[in-house]
Structure 1
Amino acid sequence: MRPLFVLIKCEMGRAYETAREAVDRIEEVSEIYSISGQYDLLGKFYLAPDQDPGLFVTETVQRLPGVKDTFTLITFNAFSGTGAAR
């Protein structure tokens, strides 16, 4: 499984509703955080190695009610307290 982070901009007043929909509907979700700044939510998802991140974002995340815009961050390595990549 590989992590994918998606910043989500929501329609005014719909961030919490969108977050609830994401955790209820999307099996790949790990966490959804409410955040400040240009985006309202930060989603962490785990995709299977053969899963297309572009299709996942456009067909799953962007179709959630209340989503206006997304910005996707694809990760390369994860570092833990030991400093080693996993």
Structure 2
Amino acid sequence: MQTFFIFVSCRRGQTYTVGRAILKEVPGVKEVSSISGKWDLLVQLAVDEARDVGELINERLAAIEGIRKTKTLVAYYVYNPEDVFF
């Protein structure tokens, strides 16, 4: 699995509606968080490496009404406290 974090900016008053729509319309979404600052939502997406993430972001996510813009980050490695030995 490949993990992506997507920052989402919503139209004014649309944050909750957009968050629920992302959970419903985009396969592989693990979590949607409302955040403060420049962006309104942070989406965690886990995609099988055989799946085209571009299709999910550019077609499924972009089709959701109320999204102004997005920024996608790729996560490469997960640091797990259980894997750290002292």
Q: Shared fold (TM-score greater than 0.5)?
A: yes
Task: Output the CA distance in 2 between the equivalents of 1:56 and 1:21.
Answer: 14
Give the percent of matched residue pairs that are identical in Structure 1 and Structure 2: 26
Counterpart residue number, 2:27: 27
- Choose 1 or 2 for highest CA Rg: 2
SS at match of 1:82: helix
Alignment of 1:1-86 (within 5 A): 1-83=1-83
- Give TM-score, length-normalised by structure 1: 0.88
- Give TM-score, length-normalised by structure 2: 0.88
SS at match of 2:81: coil
SS at match of 1:57: helix
**Following superposition, which runs of at least 4 residues in structure 1 exceed 3 angstroms of deviation?**
none
